[in-house]
A and B are shown apart, each in its own frame.
Chain A
Amino acid sequence: MSILVVVEQREGKLNRVSMETLTAAQALAAETGWPLEAAVVGSNVAAIASEVGGKKLAKVYAIENAKLEPYTPDAFAHALKQFVTTKNPKLVLMPHTYQVRDFIPKLATAMGRTAISDCIGYKKEGEKLVFTRQMFQGKLAADVSFTSEAPWFVTFQNGAFRGDKVEAGASAAPVETVNVDIPDGVIRNKPQEIFKEAKQAVDLTQADIIVSVGRGIKEQKNIELAQQLAEALGGELAASRPICDNGWLPMDRQIGSSGQTVAPKLYLALGISGAIQHIVGMKGARTIVAINKDSEAPIFEIADYAVVGNLFDIVPPLIEEVKKSKT
């Protein structure tokens, strides 16, 4: 019985979100008494394995094969299936990154198992472990349990645990290299170089004040109203994904998992319902103001100040009040 955390590396660098998963795993290890081990998957990942070995855990495995670089779901699922089958851990934990969600359903299915994905926490209820995940775009939460045999696969949402709370080890954990076999023909996809679409014109991470618009803005011409509020406040204009998908604002003004992650002093959300993908990009804001006509919108869960109402009624006088306060 053990807990295995598969940390994420990309192009030789440890993805920091892995530390959040390690924090969760350390807490789970303390509660269950199961030893905690970690694994890094890739080619020449010994240095990353050593870095992870500095944390409080029993052992780190460097799962190596030249065919693991660049990442493909075929190679990763194949390598991890071999490794997990041999080690037979009780729990396999990973961060819910775009890379993990690309291969973990394949891995779990190939092993006749299941993954509870995108969890935000866990509870130990007697001998039973349940994992909490958001459903219906964050309107409800569900406690989900495994009804199958271990290994149990779980992914944790970005920001669900504090990466800076991960405990360092008293001494460095041993690192073992495991060379896995990946026969020719396993890998079917040929990935090309990773690239950025265009130079990001706006760096929203530097903005102190952000006025962000969502579907509630209804039409492109109404963006002007939000723009006026942003100008009055001396802030930047941003948006949730649907607004950028519609082309009402450029993609580089998008906040969320596929856009920018920001932590301004003030985040003013206009007509944003607060889907998980958006929340992960802005929940670090110091003060969050939400204006939305739907009183059950998940954005209100994380708002400091909530206004339930029509943004078209509230924003015009708000612009005037902000202007007044600045003179």
Chain B
Amino acid sequence: MKILVCMKQVPQKDAPLKLNETGAWIREDVSYEVNEPDAYALEEALRQKEKHSGEVVVITSGPARASQVLREALAKGADRAIHLEDAAFVGLDALNTAKAFAAAIKDEKFDMIFTGLQSDDYGYAQTGVILAELLSWPHATIIMQIEKNDAGIRVKRELEAGYFQFVDMPLPAVLTIQSGINKLRYATLIGIKQAKNKPMRKVTLADLQSAIGTNLQKIERLYVPQKTKNTEVIEGPPAEVAKKLVEKLRNEARIL
């Protein structure tokens, strides 16, 4: 099994975000981390390789800082990495990101491509499905289990409200992976050491320019959402906060 895992670096969950001078993106001087569902996608790829042997390749796009995600993946056990390195990749829409990935891997032959089910920054939940369409591969989304069989794979899709469904599909295929499909591993010291000698291929924006078009959608502006609720902030030392809160719940909300 040769598996490609698409990964993304996103601002840390509790990073305070500020708008940049364009008003259409954030200031990038924040702390970053791996997009959480992508970490599960990587873990699943490593587990599939351990079961069926093969190779795990990780790919990301973004400025130099994004290579941290790839280094961590290599330390956890991925075999090699591809970095589409340019700050401009951050501003591509999902279609162009998928086009860039497709162009970067055109000489490779993967059995499966994994992505996280969505990113914590844009949250489009589209790149994986678009990539499948560009490659003319079948896909399945929000996957909680993958079993290889003679004809291809059987995957377990998560549906809404606690429902699930098994789907049989041929390979090659694109799967978008749900958080919680497995238990994440930590990188070992040996893994971190070995990662330094693993190959990381850099691809520039110029290499891919001919494959990418103009964005089909545009962020006009970014802003802090307007509050729709009148929120009452309760302040003070913990004991006082507790007392006030119970009073409010009894006298205003009439719950207690």
Residue total for A at the interface (Cβ-Cβ under 8 A): 95
Report B146 CB to chain A, min CB distance, Å.
14
CA distance A7 to B35 in the complex (A): 32
Proximity string of chain B (12-23) to chain A, C-beta cutoff 8 Å, 1 when within and 0 when not: 011011000000
Per a CB cutoff under 8 Å, which of A106, A115, A147, A251 touches B218?
A: A147
Report A32 CB to chain B, min CB distance, Å.
18
- In the complex, which residues of chain A have a beta carbon less than 8 angstroms from the beta carbon of B17? 136, 139-140, 296
A156 at the interface (CB under 8 A from B): no
Main secondary structure of the interface of A (DSSP, over half): mixed
Report A153 CB to chain B, min CB distance, Å.
10
Report A179 CB to chain B, min CB distance, Å.
25
Which of B66-74, B160-168, B192-200, B201-209 lies on the face that meets chain A? B160-168
How extensive is the interface on chain B, given as a class? 35 or more
Main secondary structure of the interface of B (DSSP, over half): mixed
CA distance A326 to B256 in the complex (A): 8
A147 touches B216 (CB 8 A): yes
- Nearest residue in A to B158 (C-beta to C-beta)? A258
B162 touches A259 (CB 8 A): yes
11 contacts between A and B (CB under 8 A): A102-B129, A135-B123, A142-B220, A143-B219, A144-B218, A200-B162, A252-B162, A294-B14, A306-B231, A317-B242, A318-B242
- In the complex, which residues of chain A have a beta carbon less than 8 angstroms from the beta carbon of B158? 98, 258
Residues of B participating in the A interface, judged by any CB pair closer than 8 Å: 11, 13-14, 16-17, 24, 26, 93-95, 98, 120-127, 129-130, 132-134, 138-142, 158-170, 178-180, 214-225, 227-235, 238-239, 241-243, 245-246, 248-250, 253, 255-256
Report A302 CB to chain B, min CB distance, Å.
6
CA distance A75 to B170 in the complex (A): 16
A144 touches B220 (CB 8 A): yes
Query: Which residues of A165-210 have CB atoms within 8 Å of chain B's CB atoms?
Result: 188-197, 200, 208-209
Given A98-B159, A325-B256, are A142 and B179 neighbors across the interface (CB < 8 Å)? no
B169 touches A304 (CB 8 A): no
Report B53 CB to chain A, min CB distance, Å.
25
Proximity string of chain A (86-106) to chain B, C-beta cutoff 8 Å, 1 when within and 0 when not: 000000000001110111011
B163 touches A314 (CB 8 A): no
Report A18 CB to chain B, min CB distance, Å.
14
A12 at the interface (CB under 8 A from B): no
A147 touches B217 (CB 8 A): yes
- In the complex, which residues of chain A have a beta carbon less than 8 angstroms from the beta carbon of B221? 142-143
Residue of B26, B167, B170, B235 most packed against chain A (CB within 10 A): B167
CA distance A233 to B253 in the complex (A): 14
A105 touches B130 (CB 8 A): yes
- In the complex, which residues of chain B have a beta carbon less than 8 angstroms from the beta carbon of A258? 158, 160, 162, 178
- Nearest residue in B to A275 (C-beta to C-beta)? B120
A241 at the interface (CB under 8 A from B): yes
CA distance A162 to B217 in the complex (A): 27
